[in-house]
Amino acid sequence: MKKITLILFNLLVINFVSNAQNKVVRLEIMGKAYTVTKVFPEEILGEYTYEGEPNKPPKVLLTKNGTGYFQPHDVKPVDIIFWIDCDENGVWRKQTGATGRYQYTLVIQYQDGGTTKNYEKGKYDLMGVMVLKDLGRAVIYGERYKKL
């Protein structure tokens, strides 16, 4: 009986920890409700550089903890917090194309580094991340690449 109780307790703890790690939150962005999480597919994390050239700005950085930066053209980087669009269970929403390419939608919130006019601190925005497995890269805004 002790073993069964211990096994059930362990399963309950594992389930609780798994759910806690994939916490889903609801955000209102531009008049639309989004369910999002900070659990990301590894393939989208990393540094994206202009046209895939090493160290060439403008860049985007996405880290595992949901922070990073977005660098507009000819402007210093703006710190961001980001989430990935998901359903109520934390399953990532992705739009799949005919060639097997797919896109995730990120919700980003600008932090320090933006101006009051553009990229204002606290403002939300959407950012698409295309995964092009056939080309071996992920792409943001059609010009910032990273190798898969």
pLDDT single digits (tens) 84-143: 999 999 999 999 987 889 999 999 999 987 776 788 899 999 999 999 999 999 999 999
Question: Burial of 16 by CB count in 10 Å (0-12 exposed, 13-18 middle, 19+ buried)?
Answer: exposed
CA atoms of 111 and 81, how far apart (whole Å): 7
What does the pLDDT read at residue 29? 87
